[in-house]
Amino acid sequence: KAVKEGMLEKRSDGLLQLWKKKRCILTEEGLLLIPPKQQQPPQQPPPLPAEPAAKIKELHFSNMKTVDCVERKGKYVYFTVVMAEGKEIDFRCAQEQGWNAAITLQMVQYKNRQAILAVRS
**pLDDT tens digits, 52-106:** 555 889 999 999 999 998 899 999 999 999 999 999 999 999 999 999 999 999 9
Query: Domain extents for the chain?
Result: 2-37+53-120
Q: How far is 18 from 101, CA to CA, in rounded Å?
A: 24
Which among 21, 2, 23 is positioned nearest to 11, based on CA atoms? 21
Give the pTM: 0.82
Q: How far is 84 from 45, CA to CA, in rounded Å?
A: 33
Has domain 2-37+53-120 been given CATH number 2.30.29.30? yes
